[in-house]
Amino acid sequence: MTDPGTTMPANRPRRGRPPTSPLTPALILETARALVEREGPDALTLRRLGTELGSNHTAVLRHFTGKDEIVLGLAEQLIEEALAGFVPREDWRDTLTALARRVRTACLAHPAVAVLVATRVSRRAAEFRGADTVIGALRQAGFGELDAARYYRVLADTVLAVSSYEASVTVLDDEARRGDRMAWQREYLAVSPVRYPHLAAVAGHLAAIDAEDQFETVLELLLDAVELRALRAARER
């Protein structure tokens, strides 16, 4: 991408320019994200990041206390993108479905970032706005405070876990594409029908399963069951 050329002619972050290096947290995060997306999670290195920014590899430590904080910044960026401009639907179930799809979409749009961040995210990055929306939807469904809290954590954790799990599989397929994925498909197809009769019987279907379909199924199962409990909870009051 070329420099868009803003009205002020100064402030161009060309490679290897010490004179006026702008080096802001936002620029660092953006560069880090681009690097990770281009070359995978392992490419995020203070030294690589330094050359990418055209500065000394220790310069970023003036804006972040360490590499960990950069990863945390990427996590917030990801959640931010997932929630940007979201407005709750009328129906509570539509709200939860749309929100879950947004989380998955963001994770799959930047799978390497998602993998990097998955183990580091802790819940604070899940952001108050998302939590408030989910809990609001659950109370709208008819749950009391305690149940709303419980099912919020169940749904949020499961959607985050499943999304980053899927992202990690995507990254694996990308970087070690010597066929880890193809390997298990072939192995499953060649499985012994006498030792594993059930597996052998359905092996042909296994490879054909669509990832998006699978996510939708998880979501439907969870929300079907939650809806059932909501109706029961409403009836009991």
Summarize as ranges the residues that interact with a copy of itself (CB under 8 A).
115, 118-120, 122-124, 128-129, 131-133, 135-136, 139, 145-146, 148-154, 157-158, 160-162, 164-166, 168-169, 171-172, 180-181, 183-184, 187-188, 191, 195-199, 201-202, 205-206, 209, 213-214, 217-218, 220-222, 224-226, 228
Cβ 61 vs Cβ 74: under 8 Å: no
To which residue do tokens 């879950």 refer?
A: 100
Among the listed residues 162, 158, 149, 140, the one whose alpha carbon sits nearest the alpha carbon of residue 222 = 158
**What does the radius of gyration of the chain's CA atoms come to, in whole angstroms?**
22
The end-to-end CA distance of the chain, in Å, is 59
* Nearer of residues 45 and 105 to DNA, judged by Cβ: 45
Q: Minimal distance in Å, beta carbon 218 to a copy of itself?
A: 6
Instruction: Choose the one of DNA, a copy of itself, none that binds residue 40, judging by a C-beta under 5 to 8 angstroms depending on kind.
Output: none
95 binds DNA (CB under 7 A): no
CA–CA distance from 58 to each of 30, 48, 62, 122, 226 (Å)? 17, 11, 8, 27, 50
Cβ neighbours of residue 39 closer than 8 Å, sequence gap 6 or more: none
Cβ 108 vs Cβ 117: under 8 Å: no
Q: Minimal distance in Å, beta carbon 50 to a copy of itself?
A: 22
Instruction: Choose the one of DNA, a copy of itself, none that binds residue 56, judging by a C-beta under 5 to 8 angstroms depending on kind.
Output: DNA
Instruction: Choose the one of a copy of itself, DNA, none that binds residue 46, judging by a C-beta under 5 to 8 angstroms depending on kind.
Output: DNA
120 binds DNA (CB under 7 A): no
Q: What is the Cα–Cα distance from 230 to 220, expressed in whole angstroms?
A: 15
Q: Minimal distance in Å, beta carbon 60 to DNA?
A: 8
Helices (H) then strands (E): counts for the chain: 10, 0
Q: What is the Cα–Cα distance from 52 to 68, expressed in whole angstroms?
A: 18
46 binds DNA (CB under 7 A): yes
Cβ 131 vs Cβ 86: under 8 Å: no
Instruction: Choose the one of DNA, a copy of itself, none that binds residue 122, judging by a C-beta under 5 to 8 angstroms depending on kind.
Output: a copy of itself
The correct pick among 25, 66, 193, 204 for binding DNA (CB under 7 A) is 66
Q: Enumerate binding residues for DNA (CB under 7 A).
A: 18, 21, 23, 44-48, 55-59, 61-63, 66-68
